[in-house]
């Protein structure tokens, strides 16, 4: 029986679920993780079967878009069986889209299987085209491996969008190189402001912060930008570059609050539901999931109670040269 859809206190229908399937990653990006991370004990993680049950419950409550994140989701053992299981909801029409956010390290191995499971779009995090800088920002990553992954993904038929974190003093000089490279590969590109998350400290975050408004202003020195009305269910606002025809996105949680149209919640790999990326409020869904293996009613009740507590917006703010609204958890915990 179809359940009443999820609607938060501000009349926003919740149709987009982002699911972190692991807190582990094979990179250690400087704005996301500490170099020596202590990861969660495996017993605390939801099993693949539990993830299936949780996601299926959300889909029954009206979620139409499912994005799988991490950490790096493709490093989790047997994760392709989970993607295959979610594919049944695409086939039934209950789910409109199944997507993944990845660092690209495992795409060479898994791109074809992702496509077979019903994935058609991939968001790939890439902040530089310079091998030395890439090794520095990811600490453990190798650019050539990611480039092979992009080749494999495009060969498999996956549409790729590049997500680039705008980092002052790091990739400012590569703005036009990144745009030209994406145009040459027929890939969309989104610039994201660095968010005040984790334990690196406010001064460090402020030092990294490069306003996406400044990114756009620099682009407009060379290109004609045409605003697009389209939304993909996320926070990005898009323009088209008239000269190349490519789509450029801007995610501006700091210089422009995008909360008024928020339609999403985030589920961690331990079953915590975060109603807002920039708030600490969360709901425990693992307990009702495990305590009631034969009934989804308590789980649905917990989900509805959580959505009823969804805040109007986050408190991220870099004004006055402080990273106000900082949250203590790493981005890898909530899901990128």
161 labeled part of a ligand binding site: yes
pLDDT at 254: 53
pLDDT at 316: 47
93 labeled part of a ligand binding site: no
266 labeled part of a ligand binding site: yes
Q: Tell me: the pLDDT tens digits for 242-278?
A: 999 999 999 876 544 567 778 999 999 999 999 986 6
List beta partners, residue 146.
none
76 labeled part of a ligand binding site: no
264 labeled part of a ligand binding site: yes
25 labeled part of a ligand binding site: yes
Tokens representing residue 231 in the block? 């939304």
37 labeled part of a ligand binding site: no
276 labeled part of a ligand binding site: yes
CATH 3.20.20.70 matches 16-160+259-334: yes
29 labeled part of a ligand binding site: yes
20 labeled part of a ligand binding site: no
125 labeled part of a ligand binding site: yes
Per-residue pLDDT tens, the chain, 336 aa: give them. Answer: 668 999 999 999 999 999 999 999 999 988 888 888 888 898 899 999 999 999 999 999 999 999 999 999 999 999 999 999 999 999 999 999 999 999 999 999 999 999 999 999 999 999 999 999 999 999 989 999 999 999 999 999 999 999 999 998 999 999 999 999 999 999 999 999 886 544 444 444 456 788 888 999 999 999 999 999 876 556 778 999 999 999 999 987 654 456 777 899 999 999 999 998 666 689 999 999 999 999 999 999 999 999 999 988 755 444 434 444 444 544 555 555
- Rounded to two decimals, the pTM is 0.87
265 labeled part of a ligand binding site: yes
pLDDT at 276: 86
pLDDT at 323: 44
71 labeled part of a ligand binding site: yes
């Amino acid at each position: 029986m179809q359940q009443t859809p999820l609607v938060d206190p501000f009349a926003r229908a919740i149709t987009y679920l982002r699911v972190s399937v692991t807190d582990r990653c094979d990179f250690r990006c400087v704005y996301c993780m500490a170099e020596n991370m202590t990861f969660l004990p495996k017993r605390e993680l939801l099993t693949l079967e539990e993830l299936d049950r949780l996601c299926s419950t959300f889909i029954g409550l009206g979620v139409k878009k499912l994005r799988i994140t991490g950490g790096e989701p493709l490093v989790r053992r047997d994760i392709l069986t989970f993607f295959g299981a979610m594919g049944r909801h695409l086939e039934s029409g209950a789910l409109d889209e199944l997507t993944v956010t990845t660092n690209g390290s495992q795409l060479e191995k898994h791109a074809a299987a992702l496509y077979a499971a019903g994935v058609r779009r991939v968001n790939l995090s890439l902040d530089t085209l310079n091998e030395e800088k890439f090794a520095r920002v990811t600490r453990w990553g190798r650019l050539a491996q990611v480039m092979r992954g992009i080749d494999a993904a495009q060969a498999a038929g996956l549409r790729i969008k590049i997500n680039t974190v705008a980092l002052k003093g790091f990739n400012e000089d590569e703005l036009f190189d990144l745009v030209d490279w994406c145009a040459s590969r027929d890939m969309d590109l989104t610039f994201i402001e660095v968010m005040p998350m984790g334990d690196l400290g406010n001064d460090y975050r402020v030092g990294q912060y490069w306003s996406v408004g400044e990114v756009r202003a620099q682009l407009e020195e060379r290109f004609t930008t045409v605003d697009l009305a389209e939304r993909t269910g996320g926070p990005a606002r898009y323009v088209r570059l008239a000269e190349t025809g490519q789509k450029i996105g801007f995610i501006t949680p700091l210089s422009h609050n995008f909360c008024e149209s928020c339609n999403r919640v985030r589920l961690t790999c331990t079953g915590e539901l975060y109603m807002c990326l920039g708030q600490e409020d969360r709901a425990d869904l693992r307990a009702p999931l495990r305590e009631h293996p034969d009934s989804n009613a308590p789980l649905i009740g917990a989900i509805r109670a959580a959505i009823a507590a969804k805040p109007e917006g986050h408190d991220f703010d870099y004004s006055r040269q402080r990273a106000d609204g900082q949250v203590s958890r790493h981005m890898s915990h909530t899901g990128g």
